[in-house]
Amino acid sequence: MLDYRYQTFLILAEEMNYTLTAKRLHITQPAVTQHIQYLQNELNVELVHYENRQLTITEKGMQLQKDLLLLQKEIFQIQQKLVPKTDTVSFTFGATLTIGEYIMPQLIEDYMNVYPSHDLSMLVDNTESLIDQLEHGRIDFAFVEGEFNQHFFGFQKLSDQPFIAVCSKNSPLWKKEQGINELFSYPLLIREPGSGSRLILETALKNKGIHLDSFVKRMMIGSISTIKTLVEKDIGITFLYRSAVETELEAGSLKEIKLNDFAIQHPFHLIYLKEANLKGTEIAKNFKQLIDLKNE
């Protein structure tokens, strides 16, 4: 187990309040202060800063918090190895919205067919949030569509996915091939900041010297299903991975807008921490093997 003073620091970094930290630990508030002062003296670094009744965690403090959470997870994994062996393996992973909704159902089914005794939990969130969860040891690995630090994370590319423009079947846009500038007079439905798919679109547009403001109207929607429903009703257009709209394209309720000057292919990745996450690395490899078998 971690030293009790490090535990105090982790609780304080979570609560951002000395009184609440003391209550959770069932100790006095001065004791919390003593624990933090001891760590700062021992490490010779400022971990927290308190000014005008406002507590902040310093940059060094945030790094310590991240490292302690990962260390705590390692300790738990070591403890698990020491208990009597069972066939049960538990893990939590993340997936971005497109992957979670349209790729993972079949992949989870395949995984459970091969590893029926494993207990898994999936968190669906945007790329930015999942990277933060992974860095803090709250999930074991993640399937992402957005950008990430390839020096810090281990990763496997899963596939390259077409990222296409989509409109309603009632729109005239799908009936002819055209340039992207022809779309600027239509409302654009986009995901929230932090979303991998939004970043991909913004980057591709920027590479052509185009800003999102070029579109007459932008509507931010955090749900892919809602975006598709609104596009079907001809409220606007959007850009989505083909895998997210295959059903609607086959049914004819949505149509692909053919662009002669704008094409995006983007990879889906499985990412994990290079160090301090042996279980996450091993299970991630299990998923990668299943994906490779399906692609053969």
What are 55-103's pLDDT values in tens digits?
Answer: 999 999 999 988 888 887 777 666 666 655 555 678 899 999 889 988 8
> pTM of the prediction?
0.64
Q: In the structure encoding, which two tokens stand for residue 110, read together? A: 């395949």
Could you tell me the residue range of the domain that residue 240 belongs to?
Answer: 161-264
User: Going by C-beta distance under 8 Å and a sequence separation of 6 or more, which residues neighbour residue 141?
Assistant: 93, 94, 134, 270, 271, 272, 277, 280, 281, 283, 284, 287
> Total structural domains in the chain?
3
Q: In the structure encoding, which two tokens stand for residue 131, read together? A: 């990277």
DSSP 276: S
pLDDT digit string, tens, across residues 106-117: 889 988 988 888
Say yes or no: 99 and 57 in one domain.
no
**C-alpha of 168 from chain center:** 29
- CATH code where residue 61 lies: 1.10.10.10
Question: Mean of the per-residue pLDDT values for the chain?
Answer: 87
Say yes or no: 120 and 188 in one domain.
no
User: Going by C-beta distance under 8 Å and a sequence separation of 6 or more, which residues neighbour residue 70?
Assistant: 136, 137, 273, 276, 277
User: Going by C-beta distance under 8 Å and a sequence separation of 6 or more, which residues neighbour residue 278?
Assistant: 77
Say yes or no: 95 and 180 in one domain.
no
**In terms of DSSP H, where are the helices of 83-215?**
97-102, 104-114, 127-135, 196-207
pLDDT digit string, tens, across residues 239-261: 999 989 999 999 999 999 999 99
Q: In the structure encoding, which two tokens stand for residue 209, read together? A: 């010297």
| pLDDT value at residue 212 | 92
- CATH code where residue 279 lies: 3.40.190.10
pLDDT digit string, tens, across residues 173-213: 999 999 999 999 999 999 988 887 888 899 999 999 999 99
Say yes or no: 99 and 145 in one domain.
yes
Amino acid at 169: K
